[in-house]
Amino acid sequence: MSADVRLENVWIKFGSFVAAREIELTIKGGEFFSFLGPSGCGKTTILRAVSGFLKPSEGNILIGGKDMAGIGPNRRPTALIFQNLALFPLMTVWENITFALEVKGVNATERRKKADELLELIALPGQGEKMVGELSGGQRQRVAIARALAAEPEVLLLDEPLSALDLKLRQHMRTELRSIQRRVGITFIYITHDQGEALTMSDNVAVMRDGVIEQVGDGTTIYDAPGSPFVASFVGENNLFRGTVESVDNGMATVTTTVGTLLAKTPVTASNPLKVGDTAYVFQRPESLRFAKPDNQINRIKATIVNEEFEGNFWQVYFEVPGSTKPVKMSMVNDGSSSERRRGEVVELVCEPELSVALAEGPLAAE
């Protein structure tokens, strides 16, 4: 069973500090939903409010249509996986997993059976008798998931559960988590500061900054049509040029920037519409930049190659561009063309207007 989660005008304050501001959000039942944002932006705070450990200063939280005000964490249809997992070190793996059943008064034989089922689900068969301390990081991770699932929650809340794992395992666990979510079919609310995790696993993502939700959308929308400079700079990489809007026409804006005049699309998701005369940013992703061909008429940028990094499948090429304080970065698929480029060579780059994004000036993500 899965339930939808609604946050209606939720504010959470610690004294005079506002940790979450005017959160208005609907998470559909059975969806994999992520909160993405830098550390300290209020993600854990929102999760704790949904699980019932924190009372919102204002607003309502509804799970499955039911207002959760006054309902404690032990009586909500949610289960929380803590950032540090918080497994019980003095219990065996199977006792950990079936703690929620023990609470309900299920007898030991039945609990044991359920534990074995769940150990099967998380691919740790026969490890029930071990102590938690004897498991590896990845295994502990799975035990935490099983322990939460044993409570048969309608909503599973996950607070950066993969952050302690090494890169390989993290990538493996992404797939694993997504497949577990599909199998059990309940709502997952996932918190992360890692955009890769958010984009690969989620049906929908909310990007947060300083307690505010900047944009909600599916992964491609967030990536291709960012609604604010913060989202554009936090999710993925971007080259950024500042300038003044000359004209706005039919979803395209002409911006006179420090590196020349650029034509860029204005996403419908933008929180502030562009007007002529506004200060604006134009964002161009490294993978959208190419070497200009003779027939490219617009968005040409003159650049000098300063550095190249080889990443196997990709080349990262860095340019110095007059008018840009930071080096401009271009990612190219490795097609064996490396011998054609030299450091110090002056070239012309282009980024299609459709792949360039113009947004009204606003706060950016910290580097």
Ligand X SMILES: Nc1ncnc2c1ncn2[C@@H]1O[C@H](COP(=O)(O)OP(=O)(O)O)[C@@H](O)[C@H]1O
Which spans of this chain sit near another protein (rule: CB under 8 A)? 51-53, 72-75, 78-80, 82-84, 86-91, 99-100, 102-104, 147-148, 151
Near Mg ion by CB under 5 A, which window of 19-27, 41-49, 168-176, 258-266? 41-49
Q: How far is the CB of 61 from Mg ion (least distance, A)?
A: 18
Minimum CB distance to ligand X smaller for 210 or for 246: 210
Sign of CA dihedral 92, 97, 100, 101: negative
- E-assigned strands of the chain? 5-14, 17-27, 32-36, 58-63, 66-67, 78-81, 155-159, 187-192, 204-209, 212-217, 239-249, 252-257, 260-265, 279-284, 290-291, 300-310, 314-320, 328-333, 346-350, 356-360
Count H helices, E strands: the chain? 9, 20
Minimum CB distance to another protein smaller for 99 or for 223: 99
If contact means CB under 5 to 8 A according to the sort of partner, which of ligand X, another protein, Mg ion, none does residue 45 touch?
ligand X
Q: How far is the CB of 168 from Mg ion (least distance, A)?
A: 23
Q: How far is the CB of 36 from ligand X (least distance, A)?
A: 10
Interface with Mg ion, residue 44, by CB under 5 A: yes
Site residue total, ligand X (CB under 6 A): 11
Minimum CB distance to ligand X smaller for 20 or for 321: 20
> What is the Cα–Cα distance from 146 to 114, expressed in whole angstroms?
10
Listed in sequence order, the DSSP H helices in 160-291 are 167-184, 195-201, 219-224, 229-234
User: Which 9-48 residues touch ligand X, going by CB under 6 A?
Assistant: 14, 17, 19, 37, 39-45
Interface with Mg ion, residue 192, by CB under 5 A: no
Minimum CB distance to Mg ion smaller for 44 or for 195: 44
Token readout for 59 is 């607003």
Q: Are 290 and 333 in contact (CB under 8 A)?
A: no
Interface with ligand X, residue 84, by CB under 6 A: no
If contact means CB under 5 to 8 A according to the sort of partner, which of Mg ion, ligand X, another protein, none does residue 73 touch?
another protein
If contact means CB under 5 to 8 A according to the sort of partner, which of Mg ion, another protein, ligand X, none does residue 61 touch?
none
Q: How far is the CB of 164 from ligand X (least distance, A)?
A: 15
If contact means CB under 5 to 8 A according to the sort of partner, which of Mg ion, ligand X, another protein, none does residue 108 touch?
none
> What is the Cα–Cα distance from 161 to 82, expressed in whole angstroms?
7
End-to-end CA gap in the chain: 41
> What is the Cα–Cα distance from 128 to 310, expressed in whole angstroms?
45
> What is the Cα–Cα distance from 149 to 154, expressed in whole angstroms?
9
Closest CB to Mg ion belongs to which residue?
44
Binding residues for ligand X, rule: CB under 6 A, are 14, 17, 19, 37, 39-45
